[in-house]
Structure 1
C-alpha cells in the first residue's frame, strides 16, 4: 500500500491526503468503474472547466504514486484505483495512528480517549472489546 507523505490537518476528507484535483479525480474513480482521461475530464467539466492535459498529468502522477492502475486498451488508457476507498482510508488512518503512537506515545492515547466523549456508545463498546481482546493475548 502506498504511503501518503503529506497529511493536511487543516483540510477535510480526501483533501487531507490529496491535492484538490487529485481528490476530485479519486472521488470520481472510486464511485465508478475503470475510466479514460476524457471521461474523467467530462465529469470534472460539470463543476468547472478542467484542461485535458491537466487531468492527464494528475492521473499519471497518481499512477506514479501507486494510487491508480493504468491499463492500455487500443489507443485509450484506462485508469482505476488500486485499492477501494475503504481500504485506502483504513490503511492511511492505521499508518497515521502508528506514526503518532511511535512519536508521541501515551499523549496520543489520552487525546484519543478524550475524543471518545464526542462519539456514540457503539464505538466505545468496540474499543472496550478490543482492549479486552488485547489483554487476553
Structure 2
C-alpha cells in the first residue's frame, strides 16, 4: 500500500509533533486508540484535559483528512473519522520519507552523521547496524 501523506518535518519538536501539530498528534492518538470516532466524541475527550472549542477540533480533523491521514465518511448528520494507516505504519512512513530526502540530497553527510551519532549515543545500535550491513552484503537477509 503506497501513501503520499503531506507533512512538514520539525526536527526540534518531540515525537509525532515533529510531523504533526500538537493538537493533530493528540487527535491521532485518540483515533489510533479508538479506531474511529466523530468530532463530538474526540472533542469530549480533549475537553476533559483542557478548554478547547468544538470548531477547533472539527477544523483540525478536517485538515487531517485533507492531508490523507484520516478517512472521513458521513454517518447521518455527522462524519466518522478513521485513521488511514496505523500509528506504526505512519511512523515507518515518516522515517522513510525523511531519510529518503536526506539520503537523496546529502548521502555522505547523513550516513557519516548517523554512524557518529550511534557511536556516541547508542553503541549497541551501531553494532546492530553493522550486523545488518554484513548480512545484506553476504546476501543472508
Normalised by the size of structure 2, how large is the TM-score? Answer: 0.88
CA distance in 1, matches of 2:71, 2:35: 12
- The Cα RMSD (Å) is 1.6
**Equivalent residue, structure 1, for 2:68:** 66
| CA apart distance, 1:136 | 3.3
Which of residues 84, 87, 96 in structure 1 aligns to 2:86?
84
What SS does the corresponding residue of 1:70 show, helix, strand or coil?
Answer: strand
Which of residues 56, 72, 75 in structure 2 aligns to 1:54?
56
CA deviation profile, 1:100-130 (whole Å, cap 9, x unmatched): 0111111110110011131262x33431232
Q: Where does structure 1 lack aligned partners over 5 or more consecutive residues?
A: none
**Equivalent residue, structure 1, for 2:122:** 119
The count of corresponding residues between Structure 1 and Structure 2 is 136
What SS does the corresponding residue of 1:69 show, helix, strand or coil?
Answer: strand
**Deviation >4 Å, runs of 4+:** none
**Equivalent residue, structure 2, for 1:136:** 138
| 1:34–1:80 CA contact under 8 A, matched in 2 | yes
CA distance in 2, matches of 1:120, 1:88: 27
| 1:2–1:67 CA contact under 8 A, matched in 2 | no
Please identify, of 67-76 and 126-135, the stretch whose mean Cα deviation from structure 2 is larger: 126-135
Q: 1:4 to 1:119 in 2, by over 3 A?
A: farther
